[in-house]
Structure 1
């Protein structure tokens, strides 16, 4: 049997998984350590949370008259449930009609794709390098973290993992039909990377982008990266003195004046993201 599952409420899933782990009986040399480790896993990873809730022993144990003799549970991600960007970002005007600037389905799709690709690349960096510092001349060995300002090159694994999550957070905004408005300095940087990569991909591989779009409706504002920069970046007050400056200048000032640990602090005017939302990896 194959089930397609979409996680729609990660906090609720996490809470249910934590409760399930608390009910489990552990054996071995250190049951407390086993429970603690599994609690950590289900609190951070939706796959681990699903695994705890869908474990065969737990499912079979709730059914009368049978017992579990063994078996395995396999969980895997799939691209079958890609967001419907035509529905999430509907076009108001007729084909060819110019109206107010909007984030179009095709732009949202390509930006979403690049954000997920950057998140994957950042997590790959993390798995390969861990806490290793980025060293001058070794940029080619890194996919994402060597692109960040030098002040971050020696940051620890936990910081890098949180940075990787910023790409997923912005991608999730798009998947919910919302404009990906950065809520902190790290997200500003993440969105700038995604915009730059989307522009580069469209230039270098136009056919691949066309194939990705499929039947999504076209619009005059498709791939308007300058418009994206104007409308999506620097929307919230960054808390710097020169608010009249261009968003990129304000971001540079903020990054230079703030320790990297502070890059994840939510802007005063922005809504804070769910603190316990976990990580994809």
Structure 2
């Protein structure tokens, strides 16, 4: 004879056993460290979903596009309550919602990413934690402003009359003023690409003409902010260590530009002048072509917005 089982069985077993309905709240602080891997996992999760309605495959295609471009959407696909609960034994989901928001609480630790020499050696120029922090802040701000320009103006051309209404694209060469939304979105991403370099402890070395222009704007804005609001910048730095090379914008120009890019055919030209020549000779549509000696960025990295 088999052993007797006194535990309630069947679909109403939870009610008969006095099982409780529980509302669980989980708060997670997350930092995305590998966007391509996150995107791939989210796409795989979407492929496994079952869609109802008139056009299930259309719904799937739309969600695949969203998770390919938006990290928040990718996280949403992976962290959906139904998906999480399905992996746990002995429980069923009664419903739930997921809220994802971007927080400033998990900013890069620039002191760790750009450590200073303990011996106080000042022989070689270095990108200091405070310089990296301020430059990163300006790159993110410019990216946000560029996306806001897109939201406000779309494909509308910049004109002399409304140049001041554009935060970013009115500052570019006039021959870019009539370019399409896709070009502008790619330029907004150039700020994010350089900011991402800083966020993982790498120098923001421009890999294409668009990034050269983006970094110039960020350096100009960082210099202007420091001159106009030094106390605000000091507050922004918090406990980051100070160094002799803090806010050395001329040093940034000398060290960050020209590592990749046009060859030094004319020895009398500095990196900035060579870049100016390249920009003048290249149609803006070609500004996103990688320099030959620069590593290509992930073509599937998507856009922040």
TM-score category of the 2 structures, normalised to the smaller one: over 0.9
Asked if structure 2 preserves the Cα contact closer than 8 Å seen for 1:240 and 1:253, the reply is no
Match of 1:247 in 2: 271
Q: Return the offset for 1:65.
A: 4.0
Aligned pair 1:16/2:41, yes or no?
A: yes
Q: Return the offset for 1:242.
A: 4.0
CA deviation vs aligned residue, 1:7-48 (integer Å, no higher than 9, x gap): 111111111111111111112222221111110010111110
Aligned pair 1:166/2:166, yes or no?
A: no
Q: Return the offset for 1:249.
A: 1.9
Match of 2:258 in 1: 234
Q: Return the offset for 1:98.
A: 3.0
- Distance in 1 of aligned mates of 2:130 and 2:88: 48
Asked if structure 1 preserves the Cα contact closer than 8 Å seen for 2:208 and 2:261, the reply is no
Match of 1:83 in 2: 108
Q: Return the offset for 1:3.
A: 0.3
**Equivalence map 1:36-75=2 (5 Å):** 36-75=61-100
Asked if structure 2 preserves the Cα contact closer than 8 Å seen for 1:243 and 1:250, the reply is no
Asked if structure 1 preserves the Cα contact closer than 8 Å seen for 2:205 and 2:256, the reply is yes
**Equivalence map 1:181-220=2 (5 Å):** 181-220=205-244
- Distance in 2 of aligned mates of 1:30 and 1:183: 42
- Distance in 2 of aligned mates of 1:240 and 1:72: 57
- Distance in 1 of aligned mates of 2:276 and 2:122: 34
Q: Return the offset for 1:94.
A: 4.2
Normalising by structure 1, we get a TM-score of 0.95
Q: Return the offset for 1:244.
A: 4.4
Q: RMSD between aligned alpha carbons?
A: 1.6
Number of matched pairs: 280
Normalising by structure 2, we get a TM-score of 0.88
CA deviation vs aligned residue, 1:222-272 (integer Å, no higher than 9, x gap): 111011101101221325854641222222221221121211111001111
- Distance in 1 of aligned mates of 2:272 and 2:190: 18
Asked if structure 2 preserves the Cα contact closer than 8 Å seen for 1:93 and 1:99, the reply is no
Unpaired runs of 5+ in structure 1? none
Match of 1:31 in 2: 56
- Distance in 1 of aligned mates of 2:242 and 2:236: 13
CA deviation vs aligned residue, 1:79-137 (integer Å, no higher than 9, x gap): 11111111111112545x53211111111111111111111111111112111111112
Match of 1:155 in 2: 179
Q: Return the offset for 1:61.
A: 2.6
Residue among 283, 292, 300 paired with 1:259: 283
Asked if structure 1 preserves the Cα contact closer than 8 Å seen for 2:207 and 2:261, the reply is no
Distance 1:228 1:260, change over 3 A: same
Where 2:287 maps in the other structure, the secondary structure is: helix
Where 1:182 maps in the other structure, the secondary structure is: coil
Deviates more, 1:165-174 or 1:65-74: 65-74
Aligned pair 1:275/2:299, yes or no?
A: yes
